[in-house]
Structure 1
Amino acid sequence: MNMQNRHIDHLIARHLDGERLSDAEQAELLDWLRSSEEHRRNYLDAYDAWGEEHLTDTCFDAEAAYRRFTERVATPAKLPAPLPLRQNRPLRRRIVGIACAAACSILLVTGFFLRGRAEQQIPDIREFARATEAPAYTEKEVQLVLSEQKTVRLEEKRTSIRYDASEIHINEDAREPITKKEVAAFNQLLVPYGKQTTLTLADGTRVWVNAGSRLIYPSAFDSHSREIYAEGEIYIEVAHDAARPFTLHTGKMDIRVLGTRFYVSSYGRDRAQEVVLRSGSVSVAPTGAPERGIRIEPDQRASLDTAGTFRIRKVRAEDYISWIHGYYRFDNTPLSDVLARLARYYNRTFDCSPEVGVMTISGKLELNDDPGEVLRVLSLTAPIRFRASETGFSLCSAQNARKEHDNNPNRMPMENHDPS
């Protein structure tokens, strides 16, 4: 075994023992996970294996786990000994254990902190999000990922998903049973461009998920806390439960509540992430820095910039959640921001010239099935013209469009709905 492998093994043993690793050491382990498809598969198999186990021991023997791991490396064909967490595992589980490469040892990568609690543990959701690649959101269907082996694909433009104790209700006319493995595993909801989904979690919390977004959550929360992870744009109404505080994580923020309604935008490409409070109270902090947290009040927006600084502004919260009702409401919004939203909603490209991008618009914009009609409505309030292509639309100012046509009268004219 080379020195690098011994170093990784040492980090594994420390992590399984519940010792807090430094940021550099955690990053090193995550790099190890991402460096090999075999490492990733071992992790996923281990995740499934752990998910079907109930932690019945009051403490976890990290030395034994480390010994099994090193024995596994030295003799790959060796049958791993049964895990000490539960006796007399079914034969099927033992077979999976062989493929897992000493499952309980690999579990460290996603933050399975086994610290002597008898209750089944749930891994750190932020580690899981970092260890799983975000999709490109170009799929045609909404994907509900229940486990590594099971994904439900939904073709409708708008879907509704609701969890209860034993089933997942999809659009209220289809049901998907929840297996024991899927209870322990994190579920993922992947909403591509051009789609929207409403999700009701097992605790009654409702989440509206907009196009180009990802949500990670357990199918059932534990008895101490509720945590989910979001990328993209969501509106959430948190079910009140004082005994189980609710935390929403994004790539840059941690938002903690008891019961409230708020909006979050955390698209990876956007320079700033923001949270807008509709009712109740939330505290929001940069990821990993709770001491820098702030509280916001209803109709306030907290934006976190790239420097890690929050800026608070008074807004109308209703304007930020209008999309759940089928329209956008804007207030002196740059047209470039408007077009970025339309691009995600319709899964089309909306290119504009610089002079169009800095124009601002205000008002209500109905979202129907025809993006061309939406642009025609926009052209009633802004001096723009547009041209359709196979993949999307190109926009320029009405003045430049006239100049372009005068210089080339044979060119296809851009559409214009100037009321004059």
Structure 2
Amino acid sequence: MRDNKYTDYTDFLKDRKFIQWQLLPDDRLDEYWHAFIEKNPDLTAELSYAKEYLKTSVLNKPSMTENERLSLLKKIQSSTQVVRKKRKLRRYLQYASAACAVIAIIVGLLYFSREESSSFEHNKDLISGNQLNNENIQLITAEKTISYKENIDVAITTEGTVKVIQSGREESIETEGGFLNKLIVPYGKRSKIELADGSNVWLNSGSVVEFPSTFSKQSREIYLSGEMYIEVAPEKNRSFYVHTPDFLVKVYGTKFNVSTYTDTPSSVVLVEGSVALQASKKHPEQRLHPNELAIFDPQSNTFDKRLVDINSFISWKDGYLIFDKTPIPEVLKQIERYYNLSFNFGQDIQLQKRTCTGKIYLSDNLDNVMATIALLTSTKYTRTEHQIYITNENN
């Protein structure tokens, strides 16, 4: 028989036992609400709406200040941890008061229009994202393949030994001189390599570089897919080459950034020194000067060059991103790579045309990053477990 106490999702949001079940779950509450659903299957949809509303709307309403949201979120997270660890009842009751505070907030918010409380799944003004599973960094040599869960630094000695440093621990790996080693850095990870000649390479997320343990006497050559910033050690007698899927970079002792991701145009930004770019042997070299950006056009095999602020292109290696009226889809592409996320864009063209101007520090705390993006793009974001929702600020 239907429980007449509940007619729609708002009734659940006024129910203290339901709020406690969502914020402070335990076996007793799980048993109670599972039994309720079995007895009232026609209320399943309304119950789901209530869950979604609680997760995605309460902590992100303009009626709450940012400090209030952060404080409430901290209390809720602490409460959940306390219950899961089954700590003393006295501490449970101390944190459980957070749930009571949430009830009062929710009841007040329910008097906004019902359209505001609709599920994100039905909201067209939406960019949704998912956190993907992190993969390990892989170092492939002639002898073995080694996986690393955390970011690593790699150094090649003059004798050709590969030294890997992870979390303060150093490991030495013997390699064969004539074999190209491969370092695979998946999305969500980064690495740094000091090559045998003393050149330093910073590898961004989603990149692969192939390099020898010792360079030949005639030249120094590496192969890149993805993005790197490199400071090449100058040598008069041996040129340095970077091979990419689209073009060749010939280096004359310099600092520059190369980006060859498949979902964005390939480019080179020169910080200092000089480089020559060549699409193929059939095409002439094009010299690049400091503070110039060259974007590769695969249709004509040419480069479009222009002066830029180089910091916007190389700041990622120092842990932050700089944007200047950058469309939000381009901003999120960089966030995707750095944090191993996947964003899906809805039909709202206005939202996608929002731009971002400012600096975003690439903190280990993803919430700090998303909060900064929301501030710089005049949007709102909500994060629930492994999902992220971005909506217009006036929703």
Aligned residue in 1 for 2:294: 302
Aligned length: 258
Q: One-letter code of the match for 2:365?
A: D
Tell me the distance in 2 between the aligned counterparts of 1:138 and 1:297: 40
Tell me the distance in 2 between the aligned counterparts of 1:385 and 1:313: 34
Aligned residue in 2 for 1:256: 250
Q: Pick one of 153, 157, 160 that aligns with 1:160.
A: 153
Tell me the distance in 1 between the aligned counterparts of 2:317 and 2:210: 20
Q: Pick one of 174, 184, 194 that aligns with 1:178.
A: 174
Q: One-letter code of the match for 2:390?
A: L
Tell me the distance in 2 between the aligned counterparts of 1:283 and 1:356: 40
How high is the sequence identity, in percent, across the aligned residues? 34
Tell me the distance in 2 between the aligned counterparts of 1:396 and 1:384: 6
- Contact 2:328–2:377 at 8 Å: present in 1 too? no
Q: What secondary structure, in the 3-state scheme, does the structure 1 residue paired with 2:316 have?
A: helix
CA positional deviation for 1:202? 0.4
The unaligned stretches of length 5 or more in structure 2 are 1-131
With the length of structure 1 as denominator, give the TM-score of the two structures.
0.59
Aligned residue in 2 for 1:236: 230
Tell me the distance in 2 between the aligned counterparts of 1:395 and 1:218: 44
Larger radius of gyration: 2
CA positional deviation for 1:344? 0.6
Match status 1:356 vs 2:351:
yes
Q: One-letter code of the match for 1:326?
A: G
Q: What secondary structure, in the 3-state scheme, does the structure 2 residue paired with 1:184 have?
A: coil
Q: One-letter code of the match for 2:230?
A: I
Aligned residue in 1 for 2:306: 313
Aligned residue in 2 for 1:273: 266
Match status 1:370 vs 2:365:
yes
Aligned residue in 2 for 1:347: 340
Aligned residue in 2 for 1:125: none
Tell me the distance in 2 between the aligned counterparts of 1:394 and 1:288: 47
With the length of structure 2 as denominator, give the TM-score of the two structures.
0.62
| Cα RMSD, aligned residues only | 1.8
- Contact 1:167–1:175 at 8 Å: present in 2 too? no
Runs (4+) off by over 6 Å: none
Structure with bigger RCO (C-alpha 8 Å, 6+ apart) = 2
CA positional deviation for 1:195? 0.6
Q: Pick one of 220, 224, 229 that aligns with 2:214.
A: 220
CA positional deviation for 1:375? 1.4
CA positional deviation for 1:155? 1.5
Q: Report the CA distance shift for 1:238/1:309 in structure 2 as closer, same or farther (over 3 A).
A: same
CA positional deviation for 1:321? 1.0
The unaligned stretches of length 5 or more in structure 1 are 1-136, 403-420
- Contact 1:349–1:391 at 8 Å: present in 2 too? no
- Contact 1:352–1:396 at 8 Å: present in 2 too? no
CA positional deviation for 1:309? 2.6
Q: 1:74-153 to 2 correspondence within 5 Å? A: 140-147=135-142, 149-153=143-147
Q: Pick one of 373, 385, 399 that aligns with 2:380.
A: 385
Q: Pick one of 276, 292, 308 that aligns with 2:284.
A: 292
Q: What secondary structure, in the 3-state scheme, does the structure 2 residue paired with 1:320 have?
A: helix
